[in-house]
């Protein structure tokens, strides 16, 4: 015990007098018990929202994109706004599981599972939009470079929309594999604890026969590290590619080189906010407060604050460059954002994204559950408006004043967005009752270094040595 050195300044990551078995029991509890009434209520609401959204999608595809509020000038609005928003939210999961792994952040272990689940479920939501916003979605398979009977007619690899296809599909598959690999020991734990033949069967299938031998663990760690190394450039490039949809255009307000890093920062910003929203509820509902501690929330708040400041700097940079450029179109684009007909969305975005994360400088707020929860929601509203502002205000007024127009969403636009939120929560709620929401195998590796009881024990030993 005393041979281990950890700085006494570090606060415990696992609270309470936990043993390995306690962790197992705590993590397995939501899976092994029955869902309560609240769960069913929330699930039903989410399901209804999802079904309503699915109906709106079917209506759109069956009737046409004209059911949306798009017009000839504003050809992208809520569809791509929601797409970018969901992709952005997904990025936090990979950030937590990959980047924080590379930086050896032990606090990621209690949150990475749910963050990755969030990634996967939100990328699924994001993935819907590129399909349903197509005029002829049944020909969506044409975006794939497949040999065919049109003289092997291929796609043009110059479009960022095609890069989106590759980026999103790669991102989803890598995230899924990364998530599932990490799940193997935890599924094996559930398999070994299963009492009914049905759940035994299910979890033995899901765990791929994990037996936890030394060689398996060694390879498991290597795979995790390699995947983390792969996922990190992936996560940066995916949102970069998404930003290229705008940055490579000639539209004033879109054509900026700052977009790739600024979008990625925004993605981390909104993603961590979403993780916070979900985990603040989850730790309470499934009683995992000992694992997802206030320290975890504080650290996520700090990341929200940092990335929020990066986004703030990006806003100021854009404004500076617009003024400095001497391009009247560019200058007008930003004047229009601030004072045009969509001024309210711009100032809402500015308030939510620039001011709200700055309150995290106050320890009182960043260590307050309620404060973090409210800010996390505000951030996601702000980040939705960021995408909306970038897309719509740049499109509705650009080069030709004769093409200036307004954008008004219809109930179908809203219905699909609500539907994806519903679908996300349907998946997340199902996940939280069937999957081990905390990577117990990983938490067990930090128990003896960062568990409260072990830290106390070490402290006492050190004191006795010093005397």
Partner 1 sequence: MKSLYKIVALAAVSTLATSCFNKEKPNYQLFPNMYESVAYETYSESSAFKNGKEGQVPAQGSVPRGFTPEEYPNTPAGLAAARLNSKSPLDSITSGDLDKAKQLYTIYCAICHGDAGDGKGNLVKREKFLGVPSYAERELTEGGIYHVVTYGLNAMGSHKNQLTQTERWMVAAYVLKLKSEL
Is residue 10 part of the contact set for partner 1 (CB under 8 A)?
no
What is the spatial distance between Cα 417 and Cα 429, in angstroms, rounded to a whole number?
18
276's tokens: 């916070």
Closer residue to partner 1 in complex, CB, 25/61: 61
Q: Are the beta carbons of 269 and 383 closer than 8 angstroms? A: yes
Phi, psi of 94 (to 5 degrees): -70, -35
- DSSP element (H, E) containing 287: none
Binding to partner 1 (CB under 8 A) within 174-193 occurs at none
Is residue 136 part of the contact set for partner 1 (CB under 8 A)?
yes
Closer residue to partner 1 in complex, CB, 139/214: 139
Closer residue to partner 1 in complex, CB, 138/344: 138
What is the spatial distance between Cα 101 and Cα 225, in angstroms, rounded to a whole number?
8
Is residue 138 part of the contact set for partner 1 (CB under 8 A)?
yes
Closer residue to partner 1 in complex, CB, 31/132: 132
Binding segment for partner 1 (CB under 8 A), chosen from 85-93, 116-124, 135-143, 186-194, is: 135-143
Closer residue to partner 1 in complex, CB, 7/139: 139
Return the ∠ at Cα 411 (arms to 385 and 393), rounded to 5°: 30
Is residue 150 part of the contact set for partner 1 (CB under 8 A)?
no
What DSSP string describes 326-375? --HHHHHHHHHHHHSTTHHHHHHHHIIIIIGGGGGGSHHHHT-HHHHHHH
Binding segment for partner 1 (CB under 8 A), chosen from 102-110, 132-140, 256-264, 285-293, is: 132-140
Q: Are the beta carbons of 132 and 61 closer than 8 angstroms? A: yes
Is residue 5 part of the contact set for partner 1 (CB under 8 A)?
no
Is residue 157 part of the contact set for partner 1 (CB under 8 A)?
no
Is residue 456 part of the contact set for partner 1 (CB under 8 A)?
no
Q: How far is the CB of 138 from partner 1 (least distance, A)?
A: 5
Binding segment for partner 1 (CB under 8 A), chosen from 74-82, 131-139, 227-235, 424-432, is: 131-139
Closer residue to partner 1 in complex, CB, 140/338: 140
> For 203-235, b where at least 16 C-beta lie within 10 A, e where not — what string?
bbebbeebeeeeeeeeebeeebeebbeebbebb
Q: Are the beta carbons of 273 and 380 closer than 8 angstroms? A: yes
Is residue 344 part of the contact set for partner 1 (CB under 8 A)?
no
Is residue 64 part of the contact set for partner 1 (CB under 8 A)?
no
Which DSSP symbol is given to 322? H
Binding segment for partner 1 (CB under 8 A), chosen from 43-51, 133-141, 177-185, 378-386, is: 133-141
Q: How far is the CB of 142 from partner 1 (least distance, A)?
A: 11
Q: Residue 105 contacts by C-beta under 8 Å, 6 or more apart in sequence?
A: none
State the angle between helix axes of 411-434 and 259-285 in degrees (0 to 180), rounded to the nearest 10.
Answer: 50
Closer residue to partner 1 in complex, CB, 141/198: 141
168's tokens: 């999103």
Q: How far is the CB of 140 from partner 1 (least distance, A)?
A: 12
What is the spatial distance between Cα 227 and Cα 174, in angstroms, rounded to a whole number?
8
Among 1, 139, 250, 370, binds partner 1 (CB under 8 A): 139
Is residue 63 part of the contact set for partner 1 (CB under 8 A)?
no
Binding to partner 1 (CB under 8 A) within 243-272 occurs at none
Count of residues that bind partner 1 according to CB under 8 A: 3
What is the spatial distance between Cα 153 and Cα 439, in angstroms, rounded to a whole number?
46
Binding site for partner 1 (CB under 8 A): 136, 138-139
């Amino acid at each position: 015990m005393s041979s281990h050195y950890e700085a006494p300044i570090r606060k415990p990551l696992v609270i309470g007098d936990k043993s390995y078995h306690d962790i197992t029991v705590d993590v397995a509890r939501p899976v092994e018990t029955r869902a309560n009434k609240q769960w069913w209520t929330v699930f039903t609401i989410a399901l209804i929202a999802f079904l309503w959204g699915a109906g709106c999608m079917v209506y759109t595809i069956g009737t046409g994109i004209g059911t949306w509020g798009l017009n000839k000038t504003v050809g992208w609005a809520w569809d791509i706004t929601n797409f970018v928003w969901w992709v952005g939210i997904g990025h936090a999961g990979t950030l937590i599981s990959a980047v924080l792994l590379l930086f050896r952040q032990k606090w990621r272990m209690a949150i990475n599972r749910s963050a990755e689940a969030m990634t996967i479920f939100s990328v699924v939501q994001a993935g819907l939009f590129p399909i349903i916003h197509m005029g002829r979605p049944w020909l969506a398979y044409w975006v794939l470079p497949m040999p065919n009977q049109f003289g092997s007619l291929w796609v043009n690899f110059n479009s960022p929309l095609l890069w989106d296809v590759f980026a999103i599909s790669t991102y989803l598959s890598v995230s899924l594999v990364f998530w599932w690999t990490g799940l193997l020991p935890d599924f094996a734990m559930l398999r070994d604890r299963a009492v009914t033949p049905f759940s035994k069967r299910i979890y033995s299938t899901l765990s791929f026969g994990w037996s936890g031998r030394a060689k398996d663990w060694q390879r498991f760690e290597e795979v995790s590290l390699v995947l983390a190394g792969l996922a990190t450039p992936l996560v940066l490039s995916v949102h970069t590619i998404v930003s290229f949809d705008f940055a490579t255009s000639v539209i004033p307000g879109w054509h900026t080189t700052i977009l790739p890093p600024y979008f990625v920062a925004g993605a981390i910003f909104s993603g961590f906010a979403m993780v916070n929203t979900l985990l603040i509820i989850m730790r309470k509902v499934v009683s995992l407060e000992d694992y997802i501690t206030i320290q975890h929330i504080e650290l996520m708040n700090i990341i929200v604050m940092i990335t929020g400041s990066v986004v703030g700097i990006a806003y100021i940079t854009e404004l500076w460059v617009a003024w400095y450029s001497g391009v009247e179109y560019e200058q007008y684009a930003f004047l229009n954002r601030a004072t045009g007909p969509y001024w309210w969305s711009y100032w809402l975005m500015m308030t939510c994204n620039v001011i709200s994360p700055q309150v995290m400088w106050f320890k009182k707020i960043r260590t307050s559950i309620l404060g973090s929860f409210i800010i996390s929601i505000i951030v996601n509203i702000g980040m939705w408006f960021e995408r909306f502002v970038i897309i719509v205000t740049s499109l509705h007024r650009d080069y030709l004043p004769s093409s200036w127009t307004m954008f008004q969403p219809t109930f179908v636009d809203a219905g699909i967005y609500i539907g994806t939120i519903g679908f996300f929560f349907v998946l997340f709620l199902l996940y939280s009752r069937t999957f081990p929401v905390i990577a117990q195998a990983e938490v067990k590796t930090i128990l003896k270094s960062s568990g409260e009881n072990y830290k106390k024990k070490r402290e006492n030993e050190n004191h006795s040595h010093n005397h």
